[in-house]
Copies of this chain bind each other. A is one copy, B any other.
C-alpha cells in the first residue's frame, strides 16, 4: 500500500513551526561570539543557502534517525526517554554539526501509570462472580516488539482507580447525543458499564458524559470500520498490512485540559505551588479502560436488547445491540455482568524539554521555534518519532552550515524536543514548491492542491490549511500566548481510506518496521516534509520581511461573518445587531490590504531596518490582539477569540457560536442572550484592536 503516506499526524507527531517572542520562558544563553562581522541590518533570505539546505536533507539519515529513536519504548520519563534527552543534547552539541548551544529544562509533572502489581482487568462474570471471560492484558506479541517490561499495558491515563461491575450497554461514541438517545430508548444506564468506540468526542468526554447518566464504568475500543476500512482478520492486518491487528489498543491521555494537572497557569518547577490531586480538575470521573477489537467483539456481539441504530453499527461482523446485558442465546448467561478493574496511580515525575539554539545574526531577540514532542506511548515510531527524525536531520544540515561559518540566520532559531509537559506553537500559513516524493512529477504544491484544497475568494483554488485545535504541543502557544504557529504533516490519501487516524496510533504496533515497510519505504515522504519544514523555517528566520500574509486572516473573518449572517434574524429578534461586526471585519480587511501595499512599496525601495522591524512587529503582534483572557472563563488556557473550541453548530467565531447554541438550547433565557451579545462585543473589540495594530504607523 505504498500510496499511503503517513508522516506525522495532525495529532501529535508532526513537525511544528511557529514564530514569536517567548517572553519569560527562556532566554538565549550568552555566547562567546558577537554577531558575525558580515551581519547586515538588511540581511535577507539567501535562496542559494535554501537550495543547499534542501539538497542536503537526506532520506537515509532520516531513516536511521527514526530507527534509533523508535528502537525502544520511550514512555515519558522512562529511562529510554531520558536516554533520548542525552541523544538530542549530543547531536545539538556536536562540534561539526551542532548548534550554538543546547540545554534541558526540567519540570516536575503529574503523570498517570497502570499498576505493575495489579494489572487492569476487564472480565465477564456470572451471577456467582465466576469469571467467564477476560480481555487481554496486553497486545499480542506479533513482531517480538510487543512484549517485555517496557511496553506499558493498555490503559486510560488519568482514569481513576475502581472496580465497578454492572450490565453492559453499547453507547456508540459516548457523546452527549448518544447517551440522550439511549435514555430516550429506555435503556437503563444507571449502574451500568458502557462500551464505546473511539472517535466523535474526546477520550475523557466519554467518561464525563457517561457519569452524568449514572454509568459506573466505561470501556473504549477501536472499531475496524473506523480504522481499518473494515478489515479485522489477523492475516489482513499488521504485520501483513498497515492495518491495526485485533489485539491492538489505543492508549491515551483522558485528562480534559492540557499542561500539568497540578500547576495550572504556573510553571511546573519543583518548588511551584501544586493543587492537591484531590482538588485538581479535569480527570475522568469514573474508571475507564481501553480494549482491542478482538475483545470488544466478544462483548458487543453477545449483547442483548434492541438493535442499535444504523450509524452505530461497525465492522465486527455482527449486529450491534444496545443491551443492557447479554442476549439469551449467546456465549454468556443473560445475567452476566462486566467487571472493570482499574488500578492506575498518579505519580510526580521529572520530565525534560530539550532546547537547541542558533543565535540570530541581526535580530537575536526574535525567535522561530521548531519543535515536536519526544515521549511516546510505546515505540512511537510515527508518533512522535517521525517528527523528531526530520527535526534532527534539519538541525544537522543547518548546524553544519553554521559551524562552517557559511550561514547564520537573521533571527534566532530554537529547536525543541518537548517532554511529557505539553507545549506548542501557533498557526499561520506557508507553502512551498519543492519536488514531491514518488514518480508523479508533481510538486508538493501540486500534490497538496490536488488532495487537500479549498476555494478562496481571493486566490481561487488553493491548498487548504486546517485549523489548529488543541491536539498537540502548539495548543498553549496559540491559545494561551497568541503566537503564530503551524503544524506540518504529510499524511495519507483520504480518498482511499476512511481511517480515522493511522491504524496503529498509540499502540504497540507503531514501530520502525511499520513505517519502513508500509508507510514510507524510501523515506521520501519524510524527506519531503524535511524540505518543506526547512524551507518554512528558513523563510521565517531569514526573510527581511516576515512571510506572513495578514490578508489570509481576512478570508477567515469573512467566512465567520458569513456564517454569522445566517443568525441575523434570530439575533435581531433579541435586539442584537451584527452591524458592528460587519464594520469591524471591513476595517480589518482594509487595514490588511493597506499593510500589504505598504510592504510591497517598502520592498521596492531601500529598506530602513527600523521601518522593516516595525512592519514585522505588526505582523508578529497581530495574533496577540486576538487574545482576551476574559472571553472564556470556564476554559483553562483558551483565550484566542478565533480559535477557541467551538461546540456550537454555526461555523462562526467560537464564543459567539457556543453562546448562540446555548441560548437556543436553554429556552431563550435573557442571561443566555446577554452572553451572546457579550461574545459578539468581545469579537468586535478584538477585530477593532487587530485592525488598529495593522494600520500603517510607519507611513507617517
A333 within 8 A of B: no
Residues of B within 8 A of A678 (CB): 266, 273
A434 within 8 A of B: no
A693 within 8 A of B: yes
A185 within 8 A of B: no
Given contacts A34-B699, A41-B610, A266-B685, 18 further A-B pairs with CB under 8 A are: A25-B692, A28-B700, A31-B700, A266-B681, A267-B685, A267-B688, A269-B580, A271-B681, A272-B681, A272-B685, A273-B674, A359-B700, A360-B700, A363-B610, A364-B614, A364-B700, A412-B697, A609-B609
Considering the complex, give the chain B residue whose CB is closest to the CB of A639.
B629
1/0 per residue, CB under 8 A from B, across A668-696: the answer is: 00000010011011101100111011011
Copies in the complex: 2
Residues of B within 8 A of A360 (CB): 700
Report yes or no: A608 in contact with B41, Cβ–Cβ below 8 A: yes
Given contacts A271-B579, A610-B609, whether A265 and B630 have CB atoms under 8 Å apart is yes
Report yes or no: A690 in contact with B365, Cβ–Cβ below 8 A: no
Residues in A lying within 8 Å of B, measured CB to CB: 23-28, 30-31, 33-35, 41, 100, 263-267, 269, 271-273, 275-276, 359-360, 362-365, 412, 577, 579-580, 608-610, 613-614, 617-618, 621, 624-625, 628-630, 674, 677-678, 680-682, 684-685, 688-690, 692-693, 695-700
Residues of B within 8 A of A24 (CB): 625, 688-690, 692-693
Report yes or no: B614 in contact with A363, Cβ–Cβ below 8 A: yes
Report yes or no: B33 in contact with A677, Cβ–Cβ below 8 A: no
CA distance A617 to B363 in the complex (A): 12
Considering the complex, give the chain B residue whose CB is closest to the CB of A700.
B359
Report yes or no: B23 in contact with A624, Cβ–Cβ below 8 A: yes
Residues of B within 8 A of A30 (CB): 695-696, 699-700
CA distance A104 to B365 in the complex (A): 37
Residues of B within 8 A of A33 (CB): 700
Residues of B within 8 A of A580 (CB): 269, 271
Sample (16) of A-B pairs whose CB atoms are under 8 Å apart: A24-B625, A24-B688, A30-B699, A30-B700, A31-B700, A266-B685, A271-B577, A271-B681, A271-B684, A362-B610, A364-B614, A365-B697, A365-B698, A609-B609, A610-B613, A629-B629
Report yes or no: A695 in contact with B27, Cβ–Cβ below 8 A: yes
Most buried by B among A608, A684, A697: A697
Considering the complex, give the chain B residue whose CB is closest to the CB of A688.
B24
Distance (whole angstroms) from the CB of A695 to the closest CB of chain B: 4
Residues of B within 8 A of A579 (CB): 271
Residues of B within 8 A of A27 (CB): 692-693, 695, 697
- Which of B273, B577, B700 contacts A35, CB < 8 Å? B700
Report yes or no: A682 in contact with B266, Cβ–Cβ below 8 A: yes
Residues of B within 8 A of A614 (CB): 363-365
Distance (whole angstroms) from the CB of A653 to the closest CB of chain B: 14
Residues of B within 8 A of A100 (CB): 700
Report yes or no: B697 in contact with A28, Cβ–Cβ below 8 A: yes
CA distance A41 to B607 in the complex (A): 12
Distance (whole angstroms) from the CB of A358 to the closest CB of chain B: 10
Distance (whole angstroms) from the CB of A36 to the closest CB of chain B: 11
Given contacts A35-B700, A580-B269, whether A25 and B689 have CB atoms under 8 Å apart is yes
Distance (whole angstroms) from the CB of A669 to the closest CB of chain B: 13
Considering the complex, give the chain B residue whose CB is closest to the CB of A633.
B633
Residues of B within 8 A of A365 (CB): 614, 617-618, 697-698
Report yes or no: A625 in contact with B273, Cβ–Cβ below 8 A: no
CA distance A464 to B35 in the complex (A): 41
Considering the complex, give the chain B residue whose CB is closest to the CB of A679.
B273
CA distance A465 to B582 in the complex (A): 47
- Which of B34, B35, B629, B693 contacts A23, CB < 8 Å? B693
Residues of B within 8 A of A23 (CB): 621, 624-625, 689, 692-693
